[in-house]
Structure 1
Amino acid sequence: MVSASIHGFILSFGLILPLGVQNVFVFNQGATHPSYKKVLPVILTASICDSVLITLAVLGISVIILKISWLNTLLLSAGILFLMYMGYVTWKSKPNSNSIEKASFTPKKQIAFAATVSLLNPHAIMDTIGVIGTSSAAYFGADKIAFTLACIFTSWIWFLSLAYVGRQTGPLESSAGFLALLNKVSALIMWGTAIYLAIQLLNK
């Protein structure tokens, strides 16, 4: 069980570490909200969505879902449109030192966006299925449960920590300029992901 847990931790950490829309958004919200408590909706949503994807990958259900052609196309199209729109909104956002909170999202928007970038990103889903799902096949019984829980635990700790680091960045004197730059980077990542998904859709 110990080796399975360590394997799950390393694997999950390796998948979640790279800079992506989900990570940038969690960090951004941590930086723009006046208190850590107010960013809990995005932390919980991102963590729960990852937990669901990991569980589905281990159970093998997600492989069946993504094999349905029309559902895969719908998933890609919805993801592209949403990322293009949110990229535009994020790019136009102009936080300033006197109104940093204006750059933050309401709890409902946090939940909606976090869920969308988690569940409507086929690339992330395929990573979860291809790596975590495939790796879990090597374990059975208690070892498989330990592996799965380690992956889920890593995801929760990561998002809690990422938002906390963002919150520590917020009070900096130069935070307005930093957040403006972060918004531009976030928008570019969103548009880049949308273009990547569009290329995938056209090549199907």
Structure 2
Amino acid sequence: MQTYLAGLGTGLSLILAIGAQNAFVLKQGLLGRHVFATCAFCALSDALLIAAGVAGAGALAAHAPWFLLLMRWGGALFLLVYGARALRKALRGGAALHAGEGAAGLGATLAVVAALTWLNPHVWLDTVVLLGSVSSGFDEQAVFALGAISGSILFFFGLGYGARLLSPVFSRSVAWRVLDLAVAITMWTIAVGLILKG
């Protein structure tokens, strides 16, 4: 049980920071669009990456710097474009930002969340490299991984469905404009950080 709780706590501590993926999940929850699919995709992706990290992919990534370099530049490019789209929506304002209009289809939603997940080097570093490294300090690595995976499931579904508690605030278009502006700043901040590391 102690190993499971260590995995749960470590997984939650790494995922709690507001990043590109979390901002998207929050927005989908506020809009009420494909919330289950979005949360499930993020949780399943995390589970696969955590399992890979515990199985030793973290060591592979450490010995293949070109892989992290590719992820960094690809992720930075995607985040810059996504941030520009969010800024454009924030500047447009008005009815275009109401929750019921211009809903993206399931395929488009999953494509965006897939890019935010699999092209995000922070996701790889947190799940594969860091959790993989931390798990090596435990005898029951599978139990540690199960705890970390449980943390991801709790976090993503809590964020996606908990966002509805904020729906009264987001009944006004100005709140959507502020959220889109915050998303743009978050995306660009992360992108600039990735570029400067190069």
TM-score by length of structure 2 reads 0.88
- Residue 61, structure 1, aligned to residue 57, structure 2: yes
Shift of the alpha carbon at 1:177? 2.0
Unaligned runs of 5+ in 1: none
Distance 1:175 1:16, change over 3 A: farther
User: How far does the alpha carbon of each residue in 1:84-118 deviate from its partner, in whole angstroms, 9 at most, with x for none?
Assistant: 11111112123639832336532122212222222
Residue 58 of structure 2 contacts residue 133 of structure 2 at CA under 8 Å; is this kept in 1? no
Distance 1:173 1:124 in 2: 28
Distance 1:122 1:67 in 2: 16
Residue 21 of structure 1 contacts residue 186 of structure 1 at CA under 8 Å; is this kept in 2? yes
Distance 1:131 1:91 in 2: 32
Match of 1:198 in 2: 195
- Residue 168, structure 1, aligned to residue 165, structure 2: yes
Distance 1:95 1:69, change over 3 A: farther
Runs of 4+ in 1 over 6 A off after TM superposition: none
Q: RMSD between aligned alpha carbons?
A: 2.2
1:157 pairs with one of 154, 157, 174: 154
Distance 2:172 2:45 in 1: 29
Q: Which segment is superposed worse, 191-200 or 95-104? A: 95-104
- Residue 14, structure 1, aligned to residue 10, structure 2: no
> For this pair of structures, how many residues does the alignment match?
195
Shift of the alpha carbon at 1:145? 1.7
Residue 95 of structure 1 contacts residue 103 of structure 1 at CA under 8 Å; is this kept in 2? no
Paired-residue identity, %? 26
Distance 1:162 1:104 in 2: 20
Distance 1:95 1:103, change over 3 A: farther
Secondary structure class of the residue paired with 1:101: coil
Distance 1:103 1:161, change over 3 A: farther
Aligned AA (2:157)? L
Distance 2:64 2:15 in 1: 26
Distance 1:180 1:54 in 2: 35
Unaligned runs of 5+ in 2: none
Shift of the alpha carbon at 1:170? 2.6
- Residue 189, structure 1, aligned to residue 186, structure 2: yes
- Residue 25, structure 1, aligned to residue 21, structure 2: no
Shift of the alpha carbon at 1:78? 1.3
Aligned AA (1:168)? L
Match of 1:109 in 2: 108
TM-score by length of structure 1 reads 0.85
1:70 pairs with one of 66, 69, 81: 66
Shift of the alpha carbon at 1:180? 1.6
Distance 1:130 1:61, change over 3 A: closer
Distance 1:102 1:168 in 2: 20
Aligned AA (2:29)? G
Shift of the alpha carbon at 1:191? 0.7
Aligned AA (1:138)? G
Match of 1:49 in 2: 45
